Structure 1
């Protein structure tokens, strides 16, 4: 059984993570990073926060125009009617149209108006970079949790995989069976052994070949130590059907990556 509930826990100065059911490999470190980045951002934006006590509710009425952080109590994040993870003190609530939040007892949230937050991010580039890292990590956490859930209905499961510098993640010409979501590290992209670009954390690798059934069109080789989530093709197809909003964001990022690499190929050809 894949874990149904994930707890990003905070007790005093300790960042902890507990799973109910089978643990997801590699998630403890990711959860700690999510807690740490969220704390750094919200401390810097503390003057924008408005406390919002909330009574118990099956569906918390979160304002779309605000970023929300848990300041007291626990909140259950759900996908449909299924619990996905628990957030407690210090956690930034991931904003996603496919998620809803439930509180079994009274909770205290802090709300940060998006309009004012964005104004601050434009003025302070280091905060904008921090927010981008937090957003990227949130997408990676959600993808792996949802991929693990999709694996319950398929006899293939996503897994963390690791590559040392020089090792190949994807090889040009091979049949595509998996999609990789790069969690950390950098890798070179090569076409016919010619370097045409680089990819970094948060990027999706190999999805086009899995979707079209074509052979791999490029080789991806680790430049630094890399970690990635390997999602079997059958699971990736299920994710697209079950979680279109999340996958649409990932595919948009991938389209930008392909456009960038195509420009590089054209430049080298000239």
Structure 2
């Protein structure tokens, strides 16, 4: 999972530990039912609290009192607090998500079958609790920007407009878009590419218009959140540099 907001390095170490524990814990888990969840603002308003889900692919978010708190990632287990009927984050599914579904009883029986699994399970739960305890202890949720989130665009719709003020950085999670300067196409933005960062960093107005070519799911991240993200996830910086290099190369080819 990816928690939003500024956080110390040890929190990322905890989330990495959680991933490793989950991988080890569920490596022998019997095959569950692979399903695709439809887009919804509240997963458990549609699903039984007796169902648990292991994320395979897709955009799922956790909300606390309508405030975006985290993004779920592949390998994350969703639904533990629901199955125990405890206060829970509201889980939203953007567009669709591929998951493996299990009954809560199946998971709980499995993790208690051997002492080794019980030990890993206890470590998993303690690590998960520590992550959330730390987030709440640092008032993480109160500082999360509510404007961060997923946006949908149909073919031809403008994602960003040349000349507008820049406040957000964007990533296309699904689909592709074309880039125009003075109504002349100068490039394209593909899935997983970051765009709109230059104007945010320089404080200038948008230098280009970006239009969806096909249905696009876009993640919008406010400037402050994006700066926090590149500080805590160096790979994001590398992706940004690669995207910019590709765009510069495309512009050079247009000039030649």
Higher relative contact order (CA 8 A, sep 6+): 2
In structure 2, the residue matched to 1:167 is 157
Quick one: structure 1 residues 187 and 31, their matched pair in 2 at CA, closer, same or farther if it must change by over 3 Å?
A: same
In structure 2, the residue matched to 1:56 is 119
The answer to whether the aligner puts 1:153 opposite 2:143 as a matched pair is yes
**Structure 1 unmatched runs, 5+:** 37-52, 61-74, 85-148
Name the CA distance, whole Å, in 2 between partners of 1:181 and 1:78. 30
The structural deviation recorded for 1:213 is 1.5
| Runs of 4+ residues over 6 Å off in structure 1 | 3-6, 8-11
Deviations 1:107-131 (A, max 9, x none): xxxxxxxxxxxxxxxxxxxxxxxxx
Quick one: structure 1 residues 260 and 190, their matched pair in 2 at CA, closer, same or farther if it must change by over 3 Å?
A: same
The structural deviation recorded for 1:77 is 9.6
**Structure 2 unmatched runs, 5+:** 5-14, 36-52, 55-77, 80-87, 102-115, 134-138
Output the TM-score relative to the length of structure 2. Answer: 0.53
The answer to whether the aligner puts 1:250 opposite 2:236 as a matched pair is yes
The alignment partner of 1:216 has SS state of coil
Deviations 1:128-152 (A, max 9, x none): xxxxxxxxxxxxxxxxxxxxx9664
The structural deviation recorded for 1:188 is 0.8
Deviations 1:71-98 (A, max 9, x none): xxxx4596994149xxxxxxxxxxxxxx
The answer to whether the aligner puts 1:220 opposite 2:206 as a matched pair is no
The structural deviation recorded for 1:170 is 1.2
The answer to whether the aligner puts 1:82 opposite 2:149 as a matched pair is no
The structural deviation recorded for 1:158 is 1.5
The answer to whether the aligner puts 1:13 opposite 2:62 as a matched pair is no
CA contact (8 A) 2:34 2:98 kept: no
Quick one: structure 1 residues 21 and 153, their matched pair in 2 at CA, closer, same or farther if it must change by over 3 Å?
A: same
In structure 2, the residue matched to 1:177 is 167
Name the CA distance, whole Å, in 1 between partners of 2:204 and 2:217. 25
In structure 2, the residue matched to 1:211 is 201
Quick one: structure 1 residues 12 and 180, their matched pair in 2 at CA, closer, same or farther if it must change by over 3 Å?
A: same
Quick one: structure 1 residues 234 and 156, their matched pair in 2 at CA, closer, same or farther if it must change by over 3 Å?
A: farther
The alignment partner of 1:183 has SS state of strand
The alignment partner of 2:155 has SS state of coil
The alignment partner of 2:92 has SS state of coil
